[in-house]
Amino acid sequence: MKISMKNWVKSGSPWIWLNAGAVTISVVMVLGLIGLIAVRGLAHFWPADLHQALVTDRSGQQQMILGEQVQVTQITADQLRNAGYQVDEDIQLLERQLFKIGNRDLYGFDFRWALTRELENIEYPRHATVLERREWGNYYGYLIGIKEDGRLIAEQPLGENILWDEAQKRIQRAVGIYWEIYNLERREIGQVNYQLEQLRLAERRHELRGTDTPENLAELAEERAYWNDQYAEMEARLAELYGQFSRDALVMMSADGQRSVIGLHHVVRGFQPNDMNVFQKMGHYFAKLWEFVSEDPREANTEGGIFPAIFGTVMMVLIMSVIVTPFGVMAAIYLREYAKQGLLTRTIRIAVNNLAGVPSIVYGVFGLGFFVYFVGGNLDQLFFPEALPSPTFGTPGLMWASLTLALLTLPVVIVATEEGLSRIPRSVREGSLALGATKAETLWRVVLPMASPAMMTGVILAVARAAGEVAPLMLVGVVKLAPNLPVDGNFPFLHLDRQFMHLGFHIYDVGFQSPNVEAARPLVYATALMLVLVIAVLNLTAIAIRNRLREKYRALDM
Amino acid sequence: MNTESSALERELNSEKSRRRRKFRHFADGFTRYGIGAGGLGVIVAISLIFFYLVYEVVPLFQNASIEEIAEYRVDSQQTGEQTLRLVAEEQNEIFARITDAGKVHFISVETGRVLESLSMPLNGQQITSISPTIAGQDTLALGLSDGQVLQIDISFRVEFDDLGNRIGVAPRLSYPYGKEPLQLDVEGRSLNYLTRQKTRDGFVLGGLVAEGKPVILKVRARENMMTGEVTLREERAQLPTDQHYQKLLFSDDHFYTFAARADGKLDVFSSRNLNSIEKMQEAQIVPEGERITQIRFQLGNESLLIGDSLGQISQWIIARTDQGKGPRQLVNIRTLKLGDQPIEVLEPEHRRKGFVAVDSQGRTGIYNTTAENQVIDTYLLDHHPVAAVISPRASLLILEDSRGSFLTYAVDNPHPETSAKSLWGKVWYEGYDQPEYIWQSSGADNDYEPKFSITPLALGTLKAAFYAMLLSVPLAICGAMYTAYFMAPAVRKKVKPVIELMEALPTVILGFFAGLFLAPFFEMHMPGLFALLLLMPLGLVAFGFAWAQLPDKLRYLVPDGWHVILLVPVVLFIGWFSFEVSQPLEVLFFGGDMRSWLSNDLGITYDQRNAIVVGFAMGFAVIPTIYSIAEDALFGVPKSLSHGSLALGATAWQTLIYVILPTASPGIFSAVMIGMGRAVGETMIVLMATGNTPVMNFNIFEGMRTLAANIAVEMGESAVDSTHYRILFLAALVLFGFTFVVNTLAELVRQRLRKKYSTL
């Protein structure tokens, strides 16, 4: 049926379409954002093909580059002209490409823009090699020789690949030693250092209490001697490992013909992406993904993994939920079951409700002022005077971060639990009371079990909110790089006073505070994806529980 | 029956049951009180936030206090000596009194007992003048009756014994340029006035001889690299004038020379090059007939404090006149009034932009110039003042009166920098050409003037919230209207959780996305962005019209309320198309480079991380909040209302607009309020999506700094309990109060709405 424009407008349909459009736009934006983050975050680990090309820049200089193509975009000719390029009058748009060329030690930067028209002889050389290094970023080039103890033991001309297997073997060996050293340094020497620090504090404690008798001091000295011996022993082992570690080196040549000798103690892995088939690439992909979730960050957080951040986030959220659950539930029970339902209770309820809308940074300020400086400062005076002037609890740390976030999420738990309690029909409570149960028994045996899904929902929502909150944490305990995890093998195992890393803060720090944002960008996307996943899973769980709960009470209402 | 009941009774009264009953009773009571205590405790803990914030902020607005510690007479041995200068030290334990007899007495603050008296080598001359205090410089110059100048350093050091226990403060008198005086006036006339200023490699001395003729000597100290021996090179200069002066002052590095005349005028000389000094200006400081009584530099040597016989202290700086377009001149930036009597003593504070002034009747005022704050105003002396000194930490004030009495006062003045004006108003800061709103809390050096104007931050907060609401309110409310009224229930069940999932997205992700993706993307595709804003509504309506033209058979394939799905490809296409035509548009309309077109042709500053980016990202964050609450309100409107309207012949759209929307409007209002509360307090998005520059405009192409982001940026580096720290707490309190009020209002409105619905 044809309809005239006038009638169509009169019926209000344009407005309805616009309204529908608003919904669509919102949905597209959400899904688009998540999709974009997922694509960019996950694509990063795929070994991209290496392009080799001859670039002629605007001053006429030629350079052979080898690297991954990162981006291809259009740019208007005028922007180039404004930047000083010579562009013909009749050209309006030009294409340009961004390459990751690595070799920061040689070139000074690892990314390079080039106009497509400046590129010549684009090739995908089979034996182009990528070395992932612990410093200076990736190396792109060709293997031409292997050195052992500084002597050249094998050589191959450019274009051949006979040494690759041998090189891989030696890389594996070096990586093995790396982990040995890592374990020794982190675990064992870390433990010795911790014990020595404890002894120093013990001595100071004796001094402060006036119990620094010769016997006590002698005891400490004995212990210290023991740990110092241990330390010396490990030191020797470490020196030996380091000696072996730097035995091998690869002689490499970059695309523009510069030779470098790269010690294998710097190399994390080497691969030749142009020579890999799909399955090899998938293997590489999952290895990188695993490294991302399980290892420590490298190179000012722009490479490597995010394990400490994941661990810190989870730890903080766990401690927070342990604090927030009992208190939130208790407050909700009080408000709903025990408090007299009058103006005051209603006011309190509104106030609690509104606290959920108070900016999180305000909680951070409160946490810093009250918990860290006031409570923490006093705790230090009372219980840790031996460590002063360096603070133990009077400085941002895991405990204060958890407490601050517990306070922040308290309203969420209270509101959810109260809602659950209010949904329980009166008849159920009255039935229990009529059978002779006391109020406490009714509460404990009847009401709480029925309200438990609501509590769970509240706690999960609180956890989801806490996991994503960054602003208050910046004030009360998060750091860009924590030297130790908050949990380790030294008594008391859980170190509440330590600072920790956090996924959300990691995103902020790497994306905005790091010296090499371009290189870090893909990792930021991957980290963001990780955080979105954690939070989406938590929220979906909460929604599922909420739905189940509603079903349950629908039956009861009958 | 009887036996049975008695058995039951026995059972009930048995020891075991009774114990059990007792226990149950106890457990019940215990739970009641335990939960009561726990619940109330939680509520107290929550309200603690508010009280703690207030507790931290209150000291900012408390008045300073001053309290007498002691009063004592001058030691009898010293009677007859006139005080030239008092010098105080950090620990408030000792002060030094320099007298015209050429002696330095070190006196205990607490008791007034003389601890040590030292004589200076005067070679039989009289001390005729002493250089005025300059905050941050320890060296004093003494003018002698033969035109010579002796320079001394008075310093104090806290001493410890071998075990590290504190013994006390040890004073020291030293001669940084030797005990041999310098000849300032070559003719050997008595120096009636003396001034000294340090330069990059030495110092410059200025004296007034005879009736007020100026003599100037610049000394450059050069250290021999090999021997470490210091050689002084002298250089004399003349002011190009025949005037007689009463006071003389050099600015830093003798850039300017200020000379006060007896008729209340001040001559300003440009004296950067001592060989060609030029007179710049003749400023009338006080009306004809009045006198300039004291003249000092404020900390930092940038502004002059001039006390006069009217009881005023005025602050003058060198600035460009005519709002920065005119020549550099000495201008009066503020005048503070103590009383009606002439200002006799004027002493700058050592670490803050403040000073102490005492008038001839002993009325004493302590001021902060930035805040134009008079923190103390009281009569401390009954007699004419002779000298005063304020300790480096500004916590001790020592006054001497003409009878030879010393009075010491403890000053508690932690936060003079804050006043309603300095926090919210325009302030004329040192080094600026006009009063401005500026937030710049810390600087590189100690004599930095902190600029604590919250106005640009508050404005930035509103700017960010405004642009966020501009995007989110239409989208969220339109979306809510459609979802609540037109959408098929099956679609609604899916769409609502998806949009609500947005709310759970951590804002750090939105912020990073805005900063790292949107900002450069919009910069590259700005024309596309505007094309999108234009094409999107047009395209949607056009598609709707086209859809209406389709044959019924085809249209009925899509049931009512499923149109949202239909629009997905349309929205995607319009989005893609807008950005695809971006660069052709740029070539066509903006000379190929919109950014340079903006800045060159329109003169608009463009930041990559600007209000558009913030508006998008924060709008995104706020949409679900508004959407969810507004949708609830709209959906909750009783169906009888819409059915009635439709039955009377209104179209669906008319029903929505004239019946449902007005009924639900309070709910929508509260949704918008809550959304705004969220936008105002959002931290991470603003932190990451803007450059965090405090600005005072609503330019959509520039960034902003909000209160919340400011806290996140600066809280970590502010010293505990400093003014800066407390002002950040104030910012937090403002945010807390604002969101709390807004949310409470919204909640009350919502509750009333709920009541209304239940009666409909």
Nearest to B173 by CA among B149, B147, B151: B151
Q: Residues B346-361: what's their mean pLDDT?
A: 90
Q: Is residue A32 part of a domain?
A: no
**pLDDT per position as a tens digit, A44-69:** 888 888 999 998 888 888 888 899 88
- On whether both A433 and A484 belong to a single domain, the answer is yes
**Closest-CA residue of chain A to B45:** A407
Check if the beta carbon of residue B420 is closer than 8 Å to that of residue B414: no
- Enclosing domain of residue A77: 43-126+272-296
Interface of B with A in 127-146 (CB under 8 A): none
Instruction: Flag whether residue A508 sits within 8 Å of chain B, measured between CB atoms.
Output: yes
Instruction: Flag whether residue A73 sits within 8 Å of chain B, measured between CB atoms.
Output: yes
Check if the beta carbon of residue A493 is closer than 8 Å to that of residue A521: no
**pLDDT per position as a tens digit, A127-171:** 889 998 888 888 999 998 899 888 888 888 887 888 888 889 999
| B139 pLDDT higher than 80 | yes
Instruction: Flag whether residue A365 sits within 8 Å of chain B, measured between CB atoms.
Output: yes
- DSSP label of B447: T
Give dist(CA A65, CA A112) in Å, integer.
9
Tell me the pLDDT of chain B averaged across its residues: 87
- On whether both A427 and A371 belong to a single domain, the answer is yes
Nearest to A116 by CA among A27, A55, A168, A66: A55
Give dist(CA A504, CA B618) in Å, integer.
17
- On whether both A316 and A405 belong to a single domain, the answer is yes
Which chain A residues are within 8 Å of B552, Cβ to Cβ?
1
- On whether both A346 and A429 belong to a single domain, the answer is yes
A512/B47 CB distance under 8 A: no
**pLDDT per position as a tens digit, A11-46:** 888 888 899 999 999 999 989 999 999 999 888 888
> Tokens for B539?
């395209």
The distance of B534 to chain A (nearest Cα, Å) reads 13
| A361 pLDDT higher than 70 | yes
B35/A330 CB distance under 8 A: yes
| B228 pLDDT higher than 80 | no
Instruction: Flag whether residue B711 sits within 8 Å of chain A, measured between CB atoms.
Output: yes
| B444 pLDDT higher than 80 | no
- DSSP label of A500: B
Q: CA torsion angle for B372, B377, B382, B386 (degrees, to 10)? A: -30
For chain A, how long is the longest CA-to-CA vector? 105
Strand B103-108 and strand B213-223: pairing? unpaired
| B666 pLDDT higher than 60 | yes
Which chain A residues are within 8 Å of B754, Cβ to Cβ?
none
- DSSP label of B349: -
Strand partners, B334: B315
**pLDDT per position as a tens digit, B15-54:** 888 888 889 899 899 988 988 888 888 888 888 899 999 9
**Closest-CA residue of chain B to A28:** B568
| Beta strand spans in B122-264 (E) | 127-130, 139-144, 148-160, 166-174, 182-183, 191-199, 202-209, 213-223, 230-237, 247-250, 256-260
| B601 pLDDT higher than 90 | no
Give dist(CA A358, CA B677) in Å, integer.
8
pLDDT band (50, 70, 90) for residue B339: confident
Check if the beta carbon of residue B686 is closer than 8 Å to that of residue B709: yes
Give dist(CA B195, CA B212) in Å, integer.
13
**Closest-CA residue of chain B to A31:** B498
Strand partners, A304: A297
Which chain B residues are within 8 Å of A337, Cβ to Cβ?
35
- DSSP label of A487: B
A29/B592 CB distance under 8 A: no
Cα distance between the two ends of chain B: 59
Interface of A with B in 137-176 (CB under 8 A): none
Instruction: Flag whether residue A70 sits within 8 Å of chain B, measured between CB atoms.
Output: no
B486/A19 CB distance under 8 A: yes
Omega into A389 within 30° of 0, i.e. cis? Answer: yes
Tell me the pLDDT of chain A averaged across its residues: 87
Nearest Cβ partner of A15 from B653, B716, B735?
B653
| B6 pLDDT higher than 90 | no
Fold of B455-759: MetI-like fold (1.10.3720)
CB atoms within 10 A of CB B87: 22
Nearest to A358 by CA among B621, B715, B674, B57: B674
Cβ-based neighbours of B134, under 8 Å, separated by 6 or more: B196, B197, B296, B297, B301, B348
Distance of CA B186 to the CA centre of its chain: 51
A440/B32 CB distance under 8 A: yes
| B110 pLDDT higher than 90 | no
A470/B593 CB distance under 8 A: no
Check if the beta carbon of residue B297 is closer than 8 Å to that of residue B249: yes
The distance of A335 to chain B (nearest Cα, Å) reads 7
The distance of B433 to chain A (nearest Cα, Å) reads 35
Instruction: Flag whether residue B561 sits within 8 Å of chain A, measured between CB atoms.
Output: no
Give dist(CA B342, CA B351) in Å, integer.
26
For chain B, how long is the longest CA-to-CA vector? 135
Q: Residues A383-410: what's their mean pLDDT?
A: 87
pLDDT band (50, 70, 90) for residue B752: confident
| B295 pLDDT higher than 60 | yes
Q: Is residue A7 part of a domain?
A: no
**H-helix or E-strand spanning residue B18:** helix B15-61
Query: Could you give the 3-state DSSP secondary structure of residue B181?
Result: coil
For B242, phi then psi, to 5°, come to -110, 5
B28/A439 CB distance under 8 A: yes
Give dist(CA B426, CA B423) in Å, integer.
9
ipTM of the complex: 0.89
Nearest Cβ partner of A511 from B41, B516, B575?
B516
pLDDT band (50, 70, 90) for residue B727: very high
Give dist(CA B368, CA B723) in Å, integer.
13
Instruction: Flag whether residue A348 sits within 8 Å of chain B, measured between CB atoms.
Output: yes
Nearest to B506 by CA among A317, A381, A63, A233: A317
> Tokens for B359?
């008038």
For B146, phi then psi, to 5°, come to -105, 20
> Tokens for A411?
């309203």
pLDDT band (50, 70, 90) for residue B708: very high
Distance of CA B298 to the CA centre of its chain: 20
Which amino acid is it at B324?
Answer: G
Give dist(CA A475, CA B716) in Å, integer.
6
- On whether both A277 and A318 belong to a single domain, the answer is no
- On whether both A278 and A264 belong to a single domain, the answer is no
Residue A17 exposure: Cα atoms within 13 Å on the Cβ side: 23
B653/A36 CB distance under 8 A: no
**Closest-CA residue of chain B to A407:** B46
pLDDT band (50, 70, 90) for residue B645: very high
pLDDT band (50, 70, 90) for residue A550: low
Nearest Cβ partner of B512 from A30, A369, A507?
A507
- The CATH superfamily of B61-82+293-440 is YVTN repeat-like/Quinoprotein amine dehydrogenase (2.130.10.10)
Nearest to B421 by CA among B454, B448, B450: B454
pLDDT band (50, 70, 90) for residue B78: low
Most confident segment among A4-8, A503-507, B132-136: A503-507
Nearest to B197 by CA among B267, B144, B271, B123: B271
Instruction: Flag whether residue A465 sits within 8 Å of chain B, measured between CB atoms.
Output: yes
- Write down the residue that tokens 């041998």 correspond to: A166
Instruction: Flag whether residue A35 sits within 8 Å of chain B, measured between CB atoms.
Output: no
Number of CB pairs, chain A paired with chain B, less than 8 A apart: 342
Omega into A492 within 30° of 0, i.e. cis? Answer: yes
- On whether both A361 and A431 belong to a single domain, the answer is yes
In the structure, how many helices (H) and strands (E) does chain B have? Answer: 20, 31
| Beta strand spans in B46-199 (E) | 65-73, 83-88, 94-99, 103-108, 114-119, 127-130, 139-144, 148-160, 166-174, 182-183, 191-199
Q: Residues B222-228: what's their mean pLDDT?
A: 74
Q: CA torsion angle for B355, B360, B364, B365 (degrees, to 10)? A: -50
Cβ-based neighbours of B389, under 8 Å, separated by 6 or more: B85, B86, B87, B88, B95, B133, B347, B397, B398
Query: Could you give the 3-state DSSP secondary structure of residue A19?
Result: helix
Q: CA torsion angle for B188, B189, B195, B201 (degrees, to 10)? A: -20
Nearest to A163 by CA among A52, A252, A274, A40: A252
The CATH number linked to A491 is 1.10.3720.10
Instruction: Flag whether residue B728 sits within 8 Å of chain A, measured between CB atoms.
Output: yes
| A558 pLDDT higher than 70 | no
Give dist(CA B613, CA B400) in Å, integer.
62
Q: Residues B77-85: what's their mean pLDDT?
A: 78
Which chain A residues are within 8 Å of B587, Cβ to Cβ?
76-78, 92-93
Q: Residues B552-563: what's their mean pLDDT?
A: 81
Nearest to A508 by CA among A523, A493, A486: A523
Q: Residues B409-417: what's their mean pLDDT?
A: 89
- On whether both A326 and A473 belong to a single domain, the answer is yes
Cβ-based neighbours of A415, under 8 Å, separated by 6 or more: A332, A352, A353, A356, A458
Instruction: Flag whether residue A225 sits within 8 Å of chain B, measured between CB atoms.
Output: no
> Tokens for B223?
């250290």
A474/B716 CB distance under 8 A: yes
pLDDT of residue B76: 62
A358/B680 CB distance under 8 A: no
Instruction: Flag whether residue B641 sits within 8 Å of chain A, measured between CB atoms.
Output: no
| A494 pLDDT higher than 90 | no
- On whether both A338 and A287 belong to a single domain, the answer is no
> Tokens for A86?
């010579």
Interface test with A, best of B35, B40, B58, B620 (most A CBs within 10 A): B35
Give dist(CA A173, CA A148) in Å, integer.
13
Q: Is residue A28 part of a domain?
A: no
A16/B482 CB distance under 8 A: yes
Check if the beta carbon of residue A126 is closer than 8 Å to that of residue A262: no
A27/B540 CB distance under 8 A: no
Instruction: Flag whether residue B163 sits within 8 Å of chain A, measured between CB atoms.
Output: no
Instruction: Flag whether residue B598 sits within 8 Å of chain A, measured between CB atoms.
Output: no
Instruction: Flag whether residue B592 sits within 8 Å of chain A, measured between CB atoms.
Output: yes
Domain count, chain A: 3
Strand A62-76 and strand A93-100: pairing? antiparallel
Interface of B with A in 48-87 (CB under 8 A): 48-49, 52-53, 56
Give dist(CA B467, CA B626) in Å, integer.
15
- On whether both A329 and A415 belong to a single domain, the answer is yes
> Tokens for A342?
């009058």
| Region class of A267: left (phi > 0), else alpha (psi between -120 and 50), else beta | beta
Give dist(CA A439, CA B24) in Å, integer.
10
For B284, phi then psi, to 5°, come to -85, 105
Distance of CA A15 to the CA centre of its chain: 44
B747/A353 CB distance under 8 A: yes
- DSSP label of A324: H
Which chain B residues are within 8 Å of A31, Cβ to Cβ?
498
Nearest Cβ partner of B571 from A25, A82, A441?
A25
A76/B499 CB distance under 8 A: no
pLDDT band (50, 70, 90) for residue A402: very high
B681/A33 CB distance under 8 A: no
- On whether both A200 and A346 belong to a single domain, the answer is no
Which amino acid is it at B491?
Answer: V
Instruction: Flag whether residue B542 sits within 8 Å of chain A, measured between CB atoms.
Output: no
